[in-house]
Amino acid sequence: MNETDLTHFNEQHRSKMVDVTSKPSSLRIAIALSRVQMKERTLARIREGDVSKGDVLSVAQTAGILAAKRTADLIPMCHPLFISSVDIHFSYMKENTLGIRSTVKTQGVTGVEMEALTAASVAALTIYDMCKAIDKEMVIGPTYVLEKKGGKSGDFKIETNDDREGSLSEKEEIKWN
């Protein structure tokens, strides 16, 4: 299938959920990255546990996990999946940037890229929500799939020499807490 062969349309050219009935089950893994840029003092307060709403990273981690499990409720054409694992790590990338890495796994007939993206996005939104009283200028993104494994289309990984502005480089990913 090439990029122009969209499978989300029926004979009437209306949206449909893709039929995955005959696809074989396999291990599916997706890793998504995001980040939140903020004032240096905001990030310092997160590190110090000095945010009045509580432990920002614990709440963001829980929100990201819950979001991954509810992706099909948010994105109309996503299949409800039995997710076997969601893991979220945070990285203090620069004095004003917090990195988010979500890894989602399942044994199933469709991939988990949307679940990994949703987890990273909602974790970032939660950080914004918990810190907006002290920093309304936070910027979320970029958010993207770094890697996926399994399925008919095979494995995928963004090249580390990616020159897109704002992308996370391999060097920035080294210290995930």
Tell me the catalytic residues: 129
Q: Give Cα 33 to chain centroid, integer Å.
A: 6
Q: Map residue 55 onto helix, strand or coil.
A: coil
SS3 string, 22-34, reads CCCCEEEEEEEEE
Helix (H) or strand (E) holding 126: helix 113-131
Tokens linked to 101: 């890495």
Tokens linked to 148: 């996926």
Residue found under tokens 């890697």: 147
Comparing C-alpha atoms, which of 49, 82, 89 is closest to residue 68? 82
Give dist(CA 125, CA 120) in Å, integer.
9
